[in-house]
Amino acid sequence: MIARWLDSDFVYSLLRTPTALISLIICLVLAACALFAPWIAPTDPFDMSSIDLMNGFTPPGVANEFTGEQFFLGSDDQGRDLYSAILYGLRVSLFVGFASVILAMTLGVTLGLLAGYLGGWVDAVIMRIADIQMTFPSILVAMLIYGVARGILPPNARADMAITVLILSIGLSEWVSFARTVRGTTIVEKQKEYITASRLIGLSHLNIMARHILPNVINPILVIGTITLALAIIAEATLSFLGVGAPPTEPSLGTLIRVGQDFLFSGQWWIIFFPAVTLLVLALSFNLLGDWLRDFYNPRLS
Amino acid sequence: MLSMIIRRIGQSILVLLIVALVAFSMFRFVGDPVSVMLGQEATETDREMLRERLGLNNSLLVQYGRFVGRALEGDFGVSYRTGESVAAMIADRAPATIELALFSGILATIFGITFGVITAINRKGFFSQFIMTTSLIGVSLPTFLIGVLLIWLFSVELGWLPSFGRSGVTQLGSWWHTSILTLEGIKSLILPAITLGLYQMTLIMRLVRAEMLEVLGQDYIRFARARGLPLRSIYFDHALKNTLVPVITIIGLQFGSIIAFSIITESVFQWPGLGLMFINAIYHVDIPVMSAYLVMVSIIFVAINLIVDILYLFIDPRIRDAANAGASE
């Protein structure tokens, strides 16, 4: 089984494309860092007792002049270890990214299947909504949903629910590309003979959609999913940077960059530099991986 | 052709009505406007009076109709946070955003077309390679990081340009203020404009380059060369002219994204425009401002889409013929 997989075109193409391979490795390493952050990080950035204000503004790799402590990537204004903060921030960024892509994917694939398979007024309604939403840039849609969700929540629940609201707003703003692709493929597949055959042997519509059409639209979904993940990570960072995303109690990379911006003028460059570089590497790797997947599944496009 | 234009206008109005419905629902159902306006201590009779005065006891359809009617007159109620009229807030902040968007749109168009033509004519040159690589980095960087990077380079390190705010503002008449009449004002406009326009410039450049490369390979260009026409005339009169239809579309459609990205740019540079107002409204859950912004932005987007579609009809005879054929069927 593994031997067969290693021998596949997929793995062959991956090994032959250095950019894709490197991107994949970076993605996996960063994902592992995020997953095991509590075990890798030297300190817990949220444990107030482990933070010493005297350690504030320690440059990277230099011993603090009062306490003599050293920090790999320096410390922020409150003496928090930046390396640990980035690992935990990566965790929030990746979690929000993955969760919102899964939400967008589930919603988009379901609606796309329904629109393509059922046609008629269902198709018309779903695709009109998609068209209207497409007119607006997704970051604007995400901001609006975020604002409305905040308005519906009682003020004291806003900070606790911020991550959920963030996932909801990014997820709902990105479903259209999934729905459009799935709808297109479904319309093509629907006319093929095996679908007529499935109808003849009496399979239900639900069964046909889920078990016969869905497997045929998986590849484009994977491609769009990877590219959307990069978009979602950037969107999350942007919202958090603007102060309408992850709360200060659960800082993501965007929140760290927002905090770091304040110290740009006073010369503490590392507080913004390292989170920004991490975010860039993360988004770029997923982008390049998505590009390679697209070329692999659809060589005509390249 | 006329029937097609009318149909497109009808579709646009439908879209706007749906957006207005979303804005109305936000206004009506997100939070209770009565308790927001009166506070916790109000008596039940006060509440009832205000509810009656705001017309919240009418049927929803009547309320929606009234919302659309007021929106058409430019009346979006008062901000929950400042108590100011939303229309006045928008009118006060619009010039800053329009100026920024126009300035960066013009920058993006000029540099996008110039760089696109240069990189298409001289594909292997050092300058072209340099531009193409830089543009790739520009596209991958999120807008807010571009802003931060520019602030770091030009404000912190070099100290040439201000890092935030809109200074040197001159009042022109009673409803327009501008920052392009003073040196200080232009200086404060440069960094936000670059941040906002960089992505659009890259898009325009790549599109112009791709279209130019395609056109330059065609027979009529070879014929023009064979006729011995000057290169300038070949590149600009013959080639560039024929790439303009998709370019105009992109420039038009991108104007919408400029509005959306102006939210980010204005926050980074604390530019006192509509985007900053919108972000603050989200942060403080100021629903009237949010719904007014939504309606305003959708009018702009729908109008741009409509204009681009109609321009298409005039610029490209093939689409016009298709429209006429469709109408006569």
Residue from the list A148, A244, A269 with its beta carbon closest to the beta carbon of B30: A148
* Residue B12 covered by a domain: no
* Residue B230 covered by a domain: yes
Residue A177 scores a pLDDT above 70? yes
Q: Please give the residue that has the higher pLDDT: either B277 or A74.
A: B277
Alpha-carbon distance of B162 to B152, in angstroms, equals 11
Hey, which residues does B178 pair with through a beta bridge?
A: B170
| Structure confidence at residue B261 (pLDDT) | 84
- A interface test, pick of B17, B32, B144, B264 with most A CB neighbours within 10 Å: B144
Q: In the structure, what pLDDT confidence band is assigned to residue A69 with cuts at 50, 70 and 90?
A: low
A residues 99-118 closer than 8 Å to B (CB): none
Cβ B26–A151 below 8 Å, yes or no? Answer: yes
* Residue B237 covered by a domain: yes
Half-sphere exposure of B299 (CA within 13 A, CB side): 11
Cβ B31–A241 below 8 Å, yes or no? Answer: no
CB-based contacts of A194, cutoff 8 Å, min separation 6: A212
Half-sphere exposure of A63 (CA within 13 A, CB side): 5
Q: In the structure, what pLDDT confidence band is assigned to residue A111 with cuts at 50, 70 and 90?
A: very high
| Structure confidence at residue B322 (pLDDT) | 66
Instruction: Kindly report the nearest CA distance between residue A280 and chain B, in angstroms.
Output: 7
Residue B36 scores a pLDDT above 70? no
Residue A179 scores a pLDDT above 90? yes
Amino acid (one-letter) located at B254: Q
SS3 A70: strand
Tell me which chain B residues have a C-beta less than 8 angstroms from the C-beta of A257: 144-145, 148
Joined together, the tokens standing for residue A236 give: 């999350």
B113 touches chain A (CB under 8 A): no
Average pLDDT over residues B172-179: 74
Q: Is A175 exposed, middle or buried (0-12, 13-18, 19+ CB in 10 A)?
A: buried
* Residue B263 covered by a domain: yes
pLDDT averaged over chain A?
Answer: 83
Cβ B279–A244 below 8 Å, yes or no? Answer: yes
Residue from the list B140, B279, B302 with its beta carbon closest to the beta carbon of A242: B279
* Residue B80 covered by a domain: no
The tally of domains found in chain B comes to 1
Residue A300 scores a pLDDT above 60? no
Residue A37 scores a pLDDT above 60? yes
Residue B34 scores a pLDDT above 80? no
| Structure confidence at residue A54 (pLDDT) | 64
| Structure confidence at residue A100 (pLDDT) | 95
Residue A299 scores a pLDDT above 60? no
Amino acid (one-letter) located at B235: Y
Per-residue DSSP letter, B239: I
* Residue B246 covered by a domain: yes
* Residue B241 covered by a domain: yes
| Structure confidence at residue B328 (pLDDT) | 45
Instruction: Kindly report the nearest CA distance between residue B229 and chain A, in angstroms.
Output: 35
A residues 233-252 closer than 8 Å to B (CB): 234, 237-238, 241-244
Q: Please give the residue that has the higher pLDDT: either B37 or A183.
A: A183
Residue A99 scores a pLDDT above 90? yes
Residue A90 scores a pLDDT above 70? yes
Residue A301 scores a pLDDT above 60? no
Residue B202 scores a pLDDT above 80? yes
CATH of the domain at B254: 1.10.3720.10
| Structure confidence at residue B329 (pLDDT) | 40
For B210-232, what is each residue's pLDDT tens digit? 888 888 888 888 888 888 888 78
Nearest CA in chain B to A140: B260
Structural domain including B222 reads 90-144+192-283
Q: What is the DSSP string of A127-164?
A: HHHHHHHHHS-HHHHHHHHHHHHHHHS-GGGHHHHHHH
Q: Please give the residue that has the higher pLDDT: either B277 or A160.
A: B277
Alpha-carbon distance of B88 to B66, in angstroms, equals 20
| Structure confidence at residue A120 (pLDDT) | 86
CB A267 within 8 A of CB A285: no
pLDDT averaged over chain B?
Answer: 81
CB A135 within 8 A of CB B305: yes
Residue A12 scores a pLDDT above 70? yes
Cβ A132–B301 below 8 Å, yes or no? Answer: no
| Structure confidence at residue A85 (pLDDT) | 85
Tell me which chain A residues have a C-beta less than 8 angstroms from the C-beta of B261: 137, 139
Q: In the structure, what pLDDT confidence band is assigned to residue A293 with cuts at 50, 70 and 90?
A: confident
- The percent of residues above 90 in pLDDT, for chain A, comes to 15
Residue A292 scores a pLDDT above 70? yes
Cβ B148–A244 below 8 Å, yes or no? Answer: no
Q: Please give the residue that has the higher pLDDT: either A299 or B80.
A: B80
How many Cβ contacts (< 8 angstroms) between chains A and B? 91
Residue A229 scores a pLDDT above 80? yes
Residue B22 scores a pLDDT above 90? no
Instruction: Kindly report the nearest CA distance between residue B126 and chain A, in angstroms.
Output: 24
- The percent of residues above 70 in pLDDT, for chain A, comes to 88
B301 touches chain A (CB under 8 A): yes
Nearest CA in chain B to A239: B264
Q: In the structure, what pLDDT confidence band is assigned to residue A34 with cuts at 50, 70 and 90?
A: confident
A88 touches chain B (CB under 8 A): no
| Structure confidence at residue A105 (pLDDT) | 94
For B114-142, what is each residue's pLDDT tens digit? 898 888 888 788 888 888 887 777 777 88
A61 touches chain B (CB under 8 A): no
CB-based contacts of A249, cutoff 8 Å, min separation 6: A46, A159
Cβ B31–A264 below 8 Å, yes or no? Answer: no
Residue from the list A144, A150, A284 with its beta carbon closest to the beta carbon of B294: A144
A283 touches chain B (CB under 8 A): yes
Set out the domains of chain A in order of their start, with CATH numbers. Answer: 82-301 (1.10.3720.10)
Lowest mean pLDDT among A99-103, A138-142, A278-282, B155-159: B155-159
Cβ A280–B140 below 8 Å, yes or no? Answer: yes
Q: Does the ipTM surpass 0.85?
A: no
Cβ A243–B283 below 8 Å, yes or no? Answer: yes
* Residue B269 covered by a domain: yes
Tell me which chain B residues have a C-beta less than 8 angstroms from the C-beta of A136: 256, 260, 297-298, 301
Alpha-carbon distance of A11 to A32, in angstroms, equals 21
Cβ B142–A243 below 8 Å, yes or no? Answer: no
Average pLDDT over residues A103-111: 94
Count of positions (residues) in chain A: 302
For A188-200, what is each residue's pLDDT tens digit? 888 888 888 888 8
Residue A53 scores a pLDDT above 70? no
